[in-house]
C-alpha cells in the first residue's frame, strides 16, 4: 500500500492548530463569543463526522440528526444519576450502537433511496421518542445545574478535535481507500476484494459516535429538552449543506463549510430563520448543480499534481 499522502496530514495539523487557538476564546472574549464558538465547533464536529460515511463512501445520510437526538436523550434521561464524564461517552456509545444495529439493513439500500430512508428513519425515531415522553406525561424537560458555558465550550472543542482526528484517520487508512472505491463503483470494489459491507458499517458507526456526544453537550447548553427540537431534520440538512459547500472529500472542506454556514446562521437564524433556510436551500442547489466538488475542491487545490480520480 502506498504511503500516507502528505497534504491530508498537513491539513490535520493545521486544523488542530486552529482549534487549539480557538481555545483562547473563552479566556479573552465574553460569553457572546463563547456561545458563537460553541455553535461553530458543534458544526465542525458534526460535519467532520458526517463526512466519514457520506463524503467518502457516497452514501449520503439525510438522517444524522438521529444520532445527535439519541445522544441528547441519553444525557438528559440520565441527568442527575450519571455525571457527564460518564453520560457523554455513553451518549456516543449509544449512538454508535444504534448505527451498528440499523446499519446492515439500511446500508443495503443505495443511492437516492438511502438518502430518503435515513431521513424517514430519523423521523420515525423522533416520533417514537415523542410518544415515549408523552406516555410518561411530559412534553419537555428542564435540566437544572448544568455546567458553565466555558466547560461546555471546551467539551465541544474536544469533540471537534476528536471528530477531525477520526475523519483524518478514516481518510489515511485502508478504510478510507476502500470507502472511496465504494463511492466510485461498489461492484468493482467488491470484486477487487474490498470488504464492502464491513467497511460501510464501520464508517456508519464511526460517523455516528461523535454526533451522539455533541447532542448531549447541546442538550446541556439548552438546559431544556424537547424531542421535536433535538431531532429537528434541519440539523441533518445543515450537516449536508456544510459538507457539500465546503467540499466533503477534503479534510478542510467540512471546516470551511461549517465556518461559512455557521457564520451565516449566527447572523440570520435568530432574526430571520426562514430567510436563512431559503439561502441554505439556494446554496445547496447551486453547489450540487454547479460546484459539486465544493469550495475546497474548486479553490484550494486548483491544479492537483496528478489526476486524482
Partner 1 sequence: MLDTLLSGQLLFAAVAISATYALVALGLNLVYGTMRLLNVAHGDLVMLGGYGAFWAFSIAGISPLLTLIAVAAAAAALGMLAYRGLFRGLLASQRAAARLESNSLLLFFGLSIIIQNAVALAVSATPRGYEYLSNVVQLGNAALTGNRLAALAIAVALLAAISLFLRMHLFGLAMRALIEHREAAAVVGVDIDRVQLASFGLGFGTAAVAGALVSMTEQVSPFMGFPFTIAAFVVIIMGGLGRIGGGIAAALVLGVIETYGVALTSASWRSILLYGVFVLVLMFRPQGLFGRRAVVR
Residues at the contact surface with partner 1, assessed by CB under 8 A: 58, 60, 62, 105-106, 108-113, 115-117, 120-121, 123-124, 127-128, 130-131, 134, 237, 240, 244, 274-275, 277-278, 280-282, 284-285, 288-289, 292
For residue 131, the minimal CB distance to partner 1 (Å) is: 5
In the block, residue with C-alpha cell 412534553: 139
Q: Which is nearer to partner 1, 123 or 150 (CB)?
A: 123
Q: Please, which residue, 197 or 285, has the CB nearer to partner 1?
A: 285
Q: Give the separation between CA 174 and CA 191, rounded to whole angstroms.
A: 16
Q: For residue 22, give the C-alpha cell.
A: 480557538
Closer residue to partner 1, CB minimum distance, 141 or 183: 183
- Phi-psi label, residue 159: left if phi above 0, alpha if psi -120 to 50, beta otherwise: alpha
CB of 88 to partner 1, least distance (A): 28
List own/partner pairs for 180-186 with CB under 8 A and 24 or more apart: 180/56, 180/57, 182/57, 182/58, 183/56, 183/57, 183/58, 184/309, 186/110
Cβ closest to partner 1, residue 26 vs residue 262:
262
71 C-beta neighbours (distance < 10 Å), count: 33
The contacts of residue 251 (CB under 8 Å, 6+ apart) are 8, 11, 12, 15, 164, 167, 168, 171
Nearest distance in Å: CB 59, partner 1: 10
- Considering beta carbons, is residue 33 or 113 the nearer one to partner 1? 113
**CB of residue 249 to partner 1, shortest distance in Å:** 14
Q: Cβ of residue 223: shortest distance to partner 1, in angstroms?
A: 25
Amino acid at each position: 500500500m502506498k504511503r500516507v499522502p502528505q497534504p491530508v496530514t498537513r491539513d490535520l495539523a493545521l486544523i488542530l492548530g486552529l482549534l487549539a487557538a480557538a481555545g483562547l476564546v473563552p479566556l479573552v472574549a465574553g460569553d457572546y463569543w463563547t456561545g458563537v464558538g460553541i455553535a461553530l465547533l458543534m458544526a465542525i464536529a458534526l460535519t467532520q463526522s458526517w463526512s466519514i460515511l457520506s463524503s467518502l463512501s457516497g452514501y449520503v445520510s439525510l438522517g444524522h440528526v438521529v444520532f445527535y437526538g439519541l445522544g441528547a436523550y441519553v444525557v438528559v434521561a440520565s441527568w442527575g444519576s450519571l455525571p457527564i464524564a460518564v453520560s457523554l461517552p455513553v451518549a456516543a456509545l449509544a449512538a454508535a450502537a444504534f448505527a451498528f444495529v440499523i446499519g446492515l439493513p439500511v446500508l443495503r439500500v443505495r443511492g437516492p433511496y438511502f438518502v430518503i430512508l435515513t431521513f424517514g428513519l430519523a423521523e420515525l425515531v423522533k416520533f417514537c421518542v415523542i410518544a415515549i415522553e408523552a406516555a410518561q406525561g411530559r412534553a419537555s424537560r428542564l435540566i437544572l445545574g448544568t455546567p458553565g458555558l466555558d466547560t461546555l465550550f471546551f467539551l465541544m472543542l474536544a469533540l471537534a478535535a476528536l471528530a477531525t482526528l477520526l475523519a483524518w484517520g478514516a481518510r489515511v487508512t485502508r478504510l478510507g481507500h476502500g470507502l472511496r472505491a465504494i463511492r466510485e463503483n461498489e461492484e468493482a470494489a467488491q470484486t477487487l476484494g474490498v470488504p464492502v459491507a464491513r467497511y460501510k458499517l464501520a464508517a456508519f458507526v464511526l460517523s455516528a459516535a461523535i454526533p451522539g456526544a455533541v447532542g448531549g453537550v447541546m442538550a446541556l447548553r439548552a438546559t431544556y429538552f424537547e424531542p421535536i427540537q433535538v431531532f429537528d431534520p434541519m440539523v441533518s440538512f445543515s450537516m449536508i449543506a456544510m459538507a457539500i459547500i465546503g467540499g466533503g472529500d477534503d479534510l478542510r472542506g467540512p471546516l470551511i463549510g461549517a465556518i461559512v454556514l455557521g457564520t451565516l446562521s449566527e447572523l440570520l437564524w435568530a432574526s430571520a430563520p426562514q430567510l436563512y433556510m431559503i439561502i441554505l436551500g439556494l446554496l445547496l442547489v447551486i453547489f450540487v448543480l454547479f460546484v459539486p466538488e465544493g469550495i475546497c475542491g474548486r479553490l484550494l487545490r486548483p491544479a492537483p499534481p496528478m489526476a486524482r480520480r
